[in-house]
A and B are shown apart, each in its own frame.
Chain A
Amino acid sequence: MNTLATVLRYEAIFLLGGLALIVGYGLLTHQINVTGLLMDKTSGRAISPGRVQMLLVTMSIAAYYFMSVIDAEDTSRLPDLPNEFVMAFGASQGVYLLGKLYGRFATTMGLASPNVQARAKPKRSEINK
């Protein structure tokens, strides 16, 4: 039974570790497409602050949680994530979604910047045709 557990252990390390290495290497060398990851697709801006903050919050929470798993003394359950982190994550997602919603409706409500309005005008004229 011990041999079986050992073989399974190495199999899981092989599969999970291999996948993580391949995906990590692909992301770092751009073999996996990351074009436009931080771009605001609704307004066309190069960098979206909402996306940047969401990326930072996601990476921070992921790193914090993984470290707390490694430091965990009670191995019978995954460690708890403080409620503040869950709320911060929810707020981060909310900011991102509100930003996206704003970008979506800003042009039709006349709230967008002049550049974005200029981009949107030809579309409106086409609708009127």
Chain B
Amino acid sequence: MTPATIGLVIGWILTIFIGVLAAMILIKIFKGDIDLNYIISDENGWASLSRFQFLIFTFVVAMSLFYLILAKAPPEYPAIPKEILALLGISGGSYIVSKGIQSSRDVSLKEAGESPEKKEPKVTNTPVVGGPEQPAGNQPVV
């Protein structure tokens, strides 16, 4: 078996593995087994702008990379300019500082005997792991 053949076999194994994984993830999301309801929410149930920003940048950078990789023949991984890294760094740093401010406020409220305002979680079809037995259908997510 030549190195080229081995490379081809490994390539096919990885391709099939990634394909099956992608299909499983999308099917589980579609069926509601993977719940995306709180993908941009903080621990109190409110939507977080920082998480939303991360989501947007993740999609933009991932799609841009994918687009450029496919644009070359043969495919090649493109260089990433430092401005993009700075953008992601600013976004991440801002998220951490924002969480620090939020946590300090929550701690103050708890010390004052008043818990931070929480938004009631929506009822979804995601079962609670280790939770009490509930009828099939809608079950609350904790």
Contacts and interface: CB of A to CB of B under 8 A. Distances in A.
Chain A residues touching B, majority SS: helix
Contact of A22 (B8, B30, B113): B30
Nearest to A101: B101
Interface residue range, chain A:
35 or more
Nearest to A72: B68
Contacts of B60: 62, 65-66
7 contacts: A9-B70, A15-B18, A18-B26, A26-B37, A33-B45, A33-B122, A59-B56
B1 interface: no
Interface residues of B, number: 69
A33 B41 contact: yes
Interface in A7-63: 7-9, 11-12, 14-16, 18-20, 22-23, 26, 31-39, 41-42, 51, 54-55, 58-59, 61-62
Given A33-B37, A76-B79, A78-B79, A16 B87 contact: no
Contacts of B138: none
B56 A62 contact: yes
Given A78-B68, A104-B101, A35 B119 contact: yes
A90 to B, nearest CB: 5
B81 A8 contact: no
Interface string A86-119: 1001100100110011001000000000000000
A36 B57 CA distance: 20
Interface in B50-97: 52-53, 55-57, 59-60, 62-68, 70-72, 74-76, 78-81, 83-84, 86-87, 90-91, 93-94, 97
Contacts, number: 181
Given A31-B37, A41-B102, A58 B56 contact: yes
Contacts of B98: 96-97, 100
A97 B23 CA distance: 40
B104 A77 contact: no
B40 A54 contact: no
Contact of A34 (B40, B76, B87): B40
Contacts of A15: 18, 22, 25-26
Contact of A77 (B8, B78, B101): B78
Contacts of B117: 41
